[in-house]
Amino acid sequence: MARKLIFFDIDGTLVDHEKKIPASTKQAIEQLQVAGHELVIATGRGPFMLKPVSDELQIESYVSFNGSYAVYHGEVVYSHPIDPNKISELTEMTLQNKHPLIYMTPEGMRSSTHEIAYPEDDEEPLRKRLPPLEPDYHVDRSIYQCLLYCKEGDEACYKESFSELGFIRWHLFGSDILPPGGSKAIGIQALIEIAGFKREDVYAFGDGINDLEMLQHVHHSVAMGNAPDEVKQAARYVTKDVTEDGIMYGLRMLGLLE
């Protein structure tokens, strides 16, 4: 069998709903590596957030920040930060509305403020996970993705004022903000070209709304059984739930594993 290039999302794909990697997934990844296939993580997480998973599975190449920053065997092959001027304008607007803006770099993330517009939701889990406060973290740094802490109903003003940026809501209080044209598909294509694989030898597994462009872009796309219908409809194949050995089942379904 020719070598394949296989992209895997993390949350809900490689890791289950308890943030653990199923034993069958570990076994499947090991078998793919022994067979000589090229494996890549494709995630909305930043590099500093995906390390536990990449270390455990020994996958060193990745497309992070929903496609804005890609690394192939330790070398940065794609880098697309958000315009610093837009970050400054966005910061000013979010501070006025008491909506924390979280700045993300490959090394870490910091919050613009810990003051929040929703005191009635004081026990909300995401609020408790706000990163350290550093209002000037975005100054003289490349910011590849931001996390906007606000409810969906309050997001419209930002989409209108910053229509060139991408917004991907993944939580009641959380929305990722991407540079213009940002998507996993962009970073993936850059890595495909560097790695030199033919289109018919590229695969991808995902489960989230931020995986739509990736699944529509690759030749062999697989949606997890736990994915919403919109994601399943965008994929060529649908495997089982991540908790039901979905990765192993999907790879066998495609003939990549016995």
Give yes or no: residues 98 and 117 share one domain: yes
Please report the pLDDT score of residue 180 as a whole number. Answer: 92
Give yes or no: residues 216 and 172 share one domain: no
HSE-CB at 129 with a 13 A cutoff on CA atoms is: 7
Tens of pLDDT, residue by residue over 83-129, are 999 999 999 999 999 999 999 999 999 999 988 887 666 555 566 67
Spatial CB neighbours of 136, under 8 Å, sequence gap ≥ 6:
none
Per-residue pLDDT of the chain (258 residues; tens, 9 = 90+): 789 999 999 999 999 999 999 999 999 999 999 999 999 999 999 999 999 999 999 999 999 999 999 999 999 999 999 999 999 999 999 999 999 999 999 999 999 998 888 766 655 556 667 899 999 999 999 999 999 999 988 999 999 999 999 998 877 888 999 999 888 999 999 999 999 999 999 999 999 999 999 999 999 999 999 999 999 999 999 999 999 999 999 999 999 998
**Candidates 9, 16, 207, 211; catalytic one:** 9
- Distance (Å, whole) CA 172 – CA 206: 21
Judge whether 9 counts as a catalytic residue. Answer: yes
Give this prediction's pTM: 0.91
How far is CA 96 from each of CA 113, 156, 206, rounded to the nearest angstrom?
11, 15, 36
Residue 258 placed within a domain: no
Structural domain range at position 26: 5-80+182-253
163, 178, 193 — which closes off a domain? 178
Identify the CATH number of the domain in which residue 227 sits. Answer: 3.40.50.1000
122, 146, 178 — which closes off a domain? 178
Identify the CATH number of the domain in which residue 168 sits. Answer: 3.30.1240.10
Give yes or no: residues 112 and 55 share one domain: no
Please report the pLDDT score of residue 168 as a whole number. Answer: 87
